[in-house]
């Protein structure tokens, strides 16, 4: 499975108001993918879009454990922090 294709499909489902279907697809796909940066980005983005901020943070932090300077994860964590604590 290509995690970016899965992410695209999950995003379309979320955009269409089908969060339950998006969660089912993301959960099923995750069980067939090895832990990679792409998987953690997919999972983090899904959790962020559905309001599960702690789960999103966990996934982005896992991504950073694999690649400490990963710009996608760093930007996503900054966005989560900014949304939580707007100035």
What confidence tens digit (pLDDT) does each residue in 23-69 have?
Answer: 899 889 888 888 888 888 888 988 898 899 999 999 999 999 999 99
CB 32 within 8 A of CB 70: no
What is the value of pTM for the model shown? 0.77
**pLDDT at residue 87 greater than cutoff 70:** no
Nearest in space to 58 (alpha carbons), one of 47, 71, 69, 72: 47
């Amino acid at each position: 499975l290509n995690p970016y294709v899965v992410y695209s499909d999950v995003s379309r489902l979320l955009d269409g108001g089908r969060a339950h279907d998006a969660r089912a697809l993301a959960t099923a796909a995750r069980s067939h993918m090895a832990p990679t940066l792409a998987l953690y980005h997919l999972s983090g983005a899904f959790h962020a879009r559905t309001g599960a901020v702690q789960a999103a943070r966990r996934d982005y932090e896992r991504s950073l454990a694999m690649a400490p300077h990963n710009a996608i994860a760093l930007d996503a964590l900054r966005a989560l922090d900014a949304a939580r604590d707007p100035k």
